């Protein structure tokens, strides 16, 4: 990225040599990112991030379909950047079906089949949930969509680079990707669109990105995203196997050492880098502060929804009660996570939880009596 941050950068649409060089770099990055999902580069539209990409897909397809597409289907545990555009569609008179999930957070393909209507314009189901780690049966869901000739959108942010996603093999018509989830810079994302799928642009202007996303492209971030995509594509199999071993060690150790805890999400259909659980009789915010004091960064719920202060719609959808929702913890492992760090968390967390539980109003009340 350094030449694009430090030197003179041309506009990719300009006709002079600086513009031509910028255009070549832009298209080279397009090829690299599209290759991650085995898609054609011509179908990739760069955006400012995954939120914009999801908005373009969720709103762009049904609004372009007009009166023939007054219905959208999504799962109940989609990212907030899918849920909120759906709420906006509902204000415009478009019906949205929020498919329920089972206790592990999985969508039943038969439930999807039953929800389809003659005016269904779009089906959108994420590849994997970033809050509970559950992987969806994407290929099966894609077959259902293909049977009914309905465009199928997959938010692949949590899964791309960690699972094998192929747009053709899985019947995906639109796919969302994020740069920072690939270890690339923030400020870049993309939506891949199958040729023939019609979209209504959401940002109008100079006609960049084949007219689907106006505005001069953020070339430094896009170049960084392209490099990150190449690194992830060549290294993901070995890296995810390593992370899965660390994840299993962490989950097994925590569930064994923390009474009144349970796994959230699926144990078998799970992202290789993701560990999440709910604790009773303790609030997550206190646990997170204590962990952070010891240099451990964890979360409770989705980071992108943390400012809303609303209970997790994902945990509600899988049947967690309010007490479990308050004690939700999520650990995500990465390229620099070591086995020693896993052991450190296993040593740190149980005493933290036990101390906070002992200080809870219920525990203090029992002690006083």
Active site residues: 304
* Cβ atoms 277, 345 nearer than 8 A: no
| 328 closest CA partner among 348, 298, 308, 307 | 298
Burial 340-364 (b: 16+ CB within 10 A, else e): eebeebbebbbebbeebbeeeeeee
* Cβ atoms 138, 125 nearer than 8 A: yes
Q: Interhelix angle for 339-358 vs 284-293, to 10°? A: 130
Dihedral pair phi/psi, residue 125, rounded to 5°: -140, 125
DSSP code of 281? Answer: S
**Separation CA 69–CA 150 (nearest Å):** 10
Residue 68 CB neighbour total at 10 angstroms:
9
């Amino acid at each position: 990225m350094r030449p694009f941050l430090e030197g003179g950068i041309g506009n990719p649409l300009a006709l002079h040599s600086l513009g031509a060089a910028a255009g070549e770099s832009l298209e080279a990055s397009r090829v690299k990112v599209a290759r991650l999902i085995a898609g054609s580069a011509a179908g990739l539209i760069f955006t400012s991030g995954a939120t914009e990409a999801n908005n373009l897909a969720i709103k762009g397809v049904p609004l372009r379909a007009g009166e023939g597409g007054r219905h959208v289907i999504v799962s109940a545990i989609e990212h907030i950047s899918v849920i909120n555009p759906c709420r906006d569609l509902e204000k415009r008179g478009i019906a949205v079906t929020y498919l329920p999930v089972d206790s592990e957070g999985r969508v039943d393909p038969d439930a999807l089949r039953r929800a389809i209507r003659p005016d269904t314009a779009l089906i959108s189901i994420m590849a994997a949930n970033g809050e509970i780690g559950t992987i969806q049966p994407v290929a099966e869901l894609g077959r259902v969509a293909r049977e009914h000739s309905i465009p199928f959108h997959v938010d692949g942010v949590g899964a791309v680079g960690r699972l094998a996603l192929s747009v053709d093999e899985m019947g995906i018509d639109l796919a969302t990707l994020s740069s920072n989830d690939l270890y690339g810079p923030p400020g870049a994302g993309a939506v891949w669109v199958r040729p023939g799928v019609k979209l209504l642009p959401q940002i109008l202007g100079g006609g960049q990105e084949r007219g689907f996303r106006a505005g001069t492209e953020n070339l430094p971030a896009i170049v960084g995203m392209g490099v990150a995509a190449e690194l992830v594509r060549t290294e993901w199999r070995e890296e995810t196997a390593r992370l899965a071993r660390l994840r299993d060690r962490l989950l097994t150790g925590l569930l064994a050492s923390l009474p009144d805890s349970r796994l959230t999400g699926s144990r078998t259909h799970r992202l290789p880098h993701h560990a999440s659980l709910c604790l009773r009789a303790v609030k997550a915010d206190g646990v997170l502060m204590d962990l952070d004091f010891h240099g451990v960064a964890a979360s409770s719920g989705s980071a992108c929804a943390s400012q809303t202060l609303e209970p997790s719609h994902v945990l509600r959808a899988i049947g967690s009660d309010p007490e479990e929702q308050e004690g939700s913890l999520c650990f995500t492992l990465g390229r620099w996570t070591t086995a020693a760090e896993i052991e450190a968390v296993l040593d740190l967390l149980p005493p933290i939880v036990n101390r906070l539980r002992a200080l809870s109003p219920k525990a203090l009340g029992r002690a006083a009596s």
